[in-house]
Amino acid sequence: MHLAQSISPLEVVLTLLYLAAVAFLGWLGYQRTKTTADYLVAGRKVHPFIMSMSYGATFISTSAIVGFGGVAALFGMSLLWLTFLNIFVGIFIAFVVLGGRTRRMGHRLDAHTFAELLGRRFDSRFIQVMAGLIIFLFMPLYAAAVLMGGTEFLATAFSMPYVVALLVFGIITAIYVFFGGLKGVLYTDALQGSIMVIGMLFLLIWAYLSVGGVAEGHKELASMSDQVGAMKAIGHRGYTATPTFGWGRPADLKPGMPSPYDMWWIVFTTIVLGVGIGVLAQPQLVLRFLTVKSGRELNRALAIGGPFILLMTGVAFTVGALSNAYFFKHEIVRGQLVSEMPADVIIKKVPGKANQTAQYTLMHIDTDSPPDGKADVDLIRPADPADVRVLDDGRVEVRSRASSIRRAVGSV
Amino acid sequence: MFGIEDTYVSLAYLLCILSALLCVIYGAINWNRGDEPVDSADVRWATRQQQETTEEL
């Protein structure tokens, strides 16, 4: 079977164990759900550990780790300002200033959903219906992005067709949400949050060890400021530097050219402020405040939530940026060059039109020792000639830097 | 600081750690605070919930 050929037995066992645990927790939620309040706000008696892990795991979705981790690899460590806002605004301000009030209000008004909370607070059926409608219309967009992240992982890790992975992921989630109610969701969130903590701790330690330590890794990354390539035109000054700041467009800039201040505005207004403050209004997070009994549980959950977010986005953004140094140090391909040929590579898919392509040179390399004459690694020839060296024994050494393909695209 | 020369990036790195510590310290200091006594509104709510459950069953 295709699935069994592509993954190890240990991975199959671990995946089955995980699915069994999720199924059990969904069943536990189902068993403990007796009333409407149990189903919608988990009976308002959730343990602070479960509440904080669920808040964190809901807060930090696929987009925050996979998506913004990739953005950090591109833009660098200035994205850590977003982590600061995630913790200070998304956790501290949310729990200390808003959480207690929201919880009390929700309790007194007997609200079970975000829309019901708003509707009862302002005594307006219109506000309740509108809030429900807005969530109903726009939340699927966010849910779709999260589903896509999980599906991409399943499809890649288990070599499954995309549609099958999407169905498997969607059906499992739907079952425990539908039958387990919010209790089932909170229990599975707590399990997923705990797994995420272990994974991110491992990733952080492994990444820093790979680049020679904290200060060494950062220095290595700083020395790669020349690797940003075409991004320099929009103000990229290196992976450990803040982008160039300025207002408007410089007077001497030619028409059609990007502004050297573009990146600063993208990073700090769209990403840091947009995502960092916007989190306070997310209904799925506000709902978590309604699940605890008193302010004491919120105080206890706060002590867990802060370090949790540091371990999530803090690690994702740091490791994302450090990946540039990692690839530079470790991803070196050595072998016999079998052939080189020009190839058209799709660099942008344009719906309804022909794909935008660029011509590159593909290198086919035999890395076997002794060489058997068959290429086993195919890669795009880096744009910088210094990244390809011919060794004394006739083999080639290619530094396939993380930025090399991007630089090649940028240079077209 | 931390091998990062850019002041703003090293400040962000430091603030991330400090804000997480702030959460831990605030949570630890207020670990047992914030518990609210049960008042008449809570009793009414609990009675209504129990009534709903009995009706559903």
Mind listing the pLDDT tens digit of every residue in chain A (412 residues)? Answer: 333 345 678 888 888 899 899 989 999 999 888 888 888 888 778 888 998 888 888 888 777 888 888 899 989 999 999 999 999 999 999 999 999 899 989 988 888 899 999 999 999 999 999 999 999 999 898 888 888 888 887 887 787 888 999 998 899 889 888 988 889 989 999 999 999 999 999 999 999 999 889 999 999 999 888 878 778 888 889 999 999 998 878 878 788 788 889 899 999 999 999 889 988 888 888 888 888 888 888 999 999 999 999 999 999 999 999 998 888 777 788 899 998 888 887 766 676 777 777 788 888 888 888 888 888 888 888 777 878 889 888 889 888 665 444 444 443 3
Using CB atoms, pick whichever of B4, B23, B30 lies closest to residue A91.
B23
Q: Which of B8, B14, B16, B26 to mutate to test the interface with A (most CBs of A within 10 A)?
A: B16
Contact B6 A37 (CB under 8 A): no
The dihedral built from the CA positions of residue A126, A132, A135 and A137, taken in this order, carries a sign that is negative
Rounded Cα gap, residues A234 and A195, in angstroms: 38
Three-state DSSP state, A245 = coil
Quick one: pLDDT at residue A407?
A: 41
Chain A, nearest residue to B6 by Cα? A241
B42 touches chain A (CB under 8 A): yes
Contact, A221 vs A322, CB < 8 A? yes
pTM for the structure as a whole: 0.82
Q: Parallel, antiparallel, or unpaired for β A388-390 and A377-380? A: unpaired
**Which carries the bigger pLDDT value, residue A137 or residue B51?**
A137
Contact A84 B52 (CB under 8 A): no
Quick one: pLDDT at residue A248?
A: 79
Quick one: pLDDT at residue B45?
A: 73
Chain A residues with CB inside 8 Å of B20's CB? 87, 306-307, 309-310, 314
Q: How many CB atoms lie within 10 A of CB A123?
A: 9
Give the residue carrying structure tokens 């392509």: A357
Give the residue carrying structure tokens 């896509």: A148
Three-point CA angle A23, A11, A176, nearest 5°: 15
**B34 pLDDT exceeds 90?**
no
B26 touches chain A (CB under 8 A): yes
Quick one: pLDDT at residue A12?
A: 81
Quick one: pLDDT at residue A76?
A: 92
Contact A310 B20 (CB under 8 A): yes
Rounded Cα gap, residues A46 and A297, in angstroms: 8
Q: From the CA of B12, how many Å to the nearest CA of chain A?
A: 5
This complex has an ipTM of: 0.81
B2 touches chain A (CB under 8 A): yes
Beta-carbon contacts below 8 Å between A and B: 124
Token pair, residue A31, equals 């068993």
Quick one: pLDDT at residue A137?
A: 93
Identity of residue A153: F
